[in-house]
Amino acid sequence: MKTISTSKSHGGIQGVYAHASAACACDMTFAVFVPPQAKDGPVPVLWYLSGLTCTHANVMDKGEYRRLAAELGLMIVCPDTSPRGEGIADEKDNWQFGSGAGFYVDATEAPFAKNYLMYSYVTEELPALIAANFPADMSRQAITGHSMGGHGALTIALKHPERFKSCSAFAPIAQPSTAGWSKPALEKYLGSDEAAWRAYDTTLLIEDGKRFPEFLVDQGSSDSFLDEGLRPWLLEEACTKSGIGLTLRMQDGYDHSYNFISTFMDDHLRWHAARLG
């Protein structure tokens, strides 16, 4: 692991790091905020998964999480959203696929299966790296994310309820297998058999019996992607039918940007801290 930069913030350390990833077959960059409480021992971990076109840096620069994370004693881990680099398959003119758009799946279709194993990366490889190199209490983990990353957070929590004590999302893609900006990506990564997509679709995972105690979801009412891509009412319907607790907050006048995310970041950090103990 290589340290790219570190900077003191609110008594803690904001770092950016890189390593050679076996899952993605390339170098991957990620950010970690270590709160000041870590000097006294391991601290709980909150994973933040970013959305389309983002890197680790978007939430680090715009998410406004450090002040309260330092107060609450939360480590914040921010992975990248895809493999990157020369020789990695991409569609450079398509912002909804390839670089910056890994969708947190393990691709099975050539040529993407060589590098786009983002599910394995964020659920296996990077957690092992965090556990080995940072003062992280891996028995107390939580997960959140935005848009594509909200989709990732919800699906990962549903498949690992024993690992995560809480899960939230900002404007998640509720049903990516039918949304216009995600369905083409799933087909390219996973093939034309839609049965394979179910493992990466929150509503279909719930339909297939996966469970998590409760979710917190914030969604802006003025989000330009609301009706075509995000459709939180599908998540609400699935949670109601299954008995999963869902706090869905429609935030009047807010859009899809980091102005929306940073406004409600404190609420999400407190939600997770209360459940992490």
Q: Which residues are catalytic?
A: 147, 223, 256
Determine the Cα–Cα distance for residues 138 and 127; give it in Å rounded to an integer. Answer: 8
Residues 6+ apart with CB under 8 A from 227: none
CB 75 within 8 A of CB 41: no
Q: What distance, in Å, lies between the first and last C-alpha atoms of the chain?
A: 30
Contact assessment for residue 56 and residue 50, using Cβ atoms and an 8 Å cutoff: yes
Q: Taking Cα atoms as reference points, which of 99, 104, 105, 100 lies closest to residue 86?
A: 99
Neighbours of 243 (CB within 10 A): 9
Instruction: Tell me if the bond preceding 83 is cis, omega within 30° of 0.
Output: no
Cross-strand bridge partners of residue 76: 33, 46
Q: Which amino acid is at 43?
A: V
Q: Are 47 and 249 in contact (CB under 8 A)?
A: no
Helix (H, G, I), strand (E, B) or coil at 22: coil
